[in-house]
Amino acid sequence: MSLTSKERIMRIFQNKQVDRPAIKLWGAWKYQKGDFLLNPMYESVAKKASEITDLFIEARSPFNMYCGQLPDITREYVEIDNDSWVQRHTVYHTPMGDLRHVEMISKFDEPGYTIEYPVKEPEDLKKILSMKYEPFPYSDNIEYKQQNLNDRGIVMYEIDHIGYALQRLTGSENLAYFSYDCRDLVLEVLDTFAKRQYNQVKRAIDNKVNVPFCWVGPELLTPPLMSENDFEQFCFNYDKPICDMVHNAGSYVWVHCHGKVRKLIERYILMGVDILNPLEPPKNGDVDLNETAKTFKGRIGLEGNIEIQDILLESEEKLKESIHSCVQSGKESGRFILCPSAGFMEYPKPTQKYINNLMTYLDYGYECVNKAVY
């Protein structure tokens, strides 16, 4: 059996036999000369990944969980006494008063961070709920992306995550407090967001979207940030209906969740997740891929188990050991995708060691998955 990348990925979603494990470099695309690069040093990596990996590309629709297309949010950039950073002020204009979100944004594409969340007190949650909501007219860019990709991979339809949308307003600390102090209000907000997200998913399905659906964000609702009971109430109970809608329409679900997820894999299977990423090993995670692949063989697609830190910092020999071990262990699941835990092009000033290790990941990873035939 010899499969195209598109066929291989879809058969992993479908729990059908494949020729070999897949290999993914998160953030890779069908590279063409002149495409955006965060740094010119990444060109060799992008070109190689475009040629040999199984590509996953995200498509989207216009969507805002808080007010839809209504102009109830304004944004401005405020210069500060720093040559490297600017503040981005986002103001939510609610009938009950304004809420301000302040973020630090790098002028040199470094990762940004929040210094002031808009929701600071329980009363602010009521302000969010008071905003009028009107969805955007439906559109997506799936067909354009799939035509460009052809059989080199698949397009996934990315949607917002209900719980993550709340966490972006509160931050993790306040969300933890609110989960004890005003849990009913938290659930009211999540109920409101869920209705909007379910409607968006239904509209996508009604518009013949049949590619896998995907989302990120559940890690903000898992231990140690939240309890296992919080995960059930704030994540599982709201995400499962989406999985059911997508499966009933004949498609599949991919989910990204960092952290210690080993105890949650059974729940993700029951939720309806078809592929779970990134399955981090200790110390950041707790997934022993050898044990996990054997325990859940064929029940869920397993993607990941290579930490981006290893690609950043480890020796070539150590990285090769990790890659070989991952492929050999993951192969046992029958549904494995070798993948780092984060996107490859997230560092504006990569070291030569990082670039070399990315090339090692691609070359040696490709060699390993091609030897791990079924």
| Amino acid present at 34 | G
Are 327 and 372 in contact by the 8 Å Cβ rule? The answer is yes
pLDDT digits (tens, 9 = 90+) for 20-55: 999 999 999 999 998 999 999 999 999 999 999 999
Q: Specify the pTM.
A: 0.96
Residue 359 in tokens: 């090339």
What pLDDT was estimated at residue 121? Answer: 97
Residues 6+ positions from 16 with CB-CB distance below 8 Å: none
**Strand partners of residue 302:** 276, 336
Residues 6+ positions from 233 with CB-CB distance below 8 Å: 187
Residue 135 has pLDDT above 90, yes or no: yes
Cα radius of gyration (the chain): 21
Please report which confidence band the pLDDT of residue 234 belongs to, taking 50, 70 and 90 as the band edges.
Answer: very high
Helices (H), the chain: 5-14, 43-52, 122-129, 142-149, 162-181, 183-206, 228-231, 237-248, 265-271, 289-295, 308-313, 316-331, 352-371
Compute CA distances 69 → 63, 135, 277, whole Å: 8, 6, 31
Cβ neighbour number for residue 38 with a 10 Å cutoff: 18
Give me the torsion for CA of 61, 335, 324, 257, rounded to 10°: 40
Q: Please report where in the chains the tokens 């325990």 appear, as a residue.
A: 295
End-to-end CA distance of the chain: 9
The 8-class DSSP code of residue 137 comes to: P
Q: What CATH architecture is 5-70+133-371? A: Alpha-Beta Barrel (3.20)
Domain boundaries, the chain: 5-70+133-371, 71-117
pLDDT (average), residues 123-138 = 97
Residue 178 has pLDDT above 90, yes or no: yes
What pLDDT was estimated at residue 346? Answer: 93
Please report which confidence band the pLDDT of residue 360 belongs to, taking 50, 70 and 90 as the band edges.
Answer: very high
Please report which confidence band the pLDDT of residue 1 belongs to, taking 50, 70 and 90 as the band edges.
Answer: confident
Q: Please report where in the chains the tokens 């040999």 appear, as a residue.
A: 52
- The vertex-58 CA angle with 309 and 55, nearest 5°, equals 65
What pLDDT was estimated at residue 240? Answer: 98
Residue 362 has pLDDT above 90, yes or no: yes
Compute CA distances 152 → 11, 37, 181, whole Å: 14, 20, 50
pLDDT digits (tens, 9 = 90+) for 8-18: 999 999 999 99
Count of positions (residues) in the chain: 374
Integer Cα distance of 244 and 209 in angstroms: 15
Integer Cα distance of 324 and 367 in angstroms: 9
pLDDT (average), residues 310-326 = 97
pLDDT digits (tens, 9 = 90+) for 62-86: 999 999 999 899 999 999 999 999 9
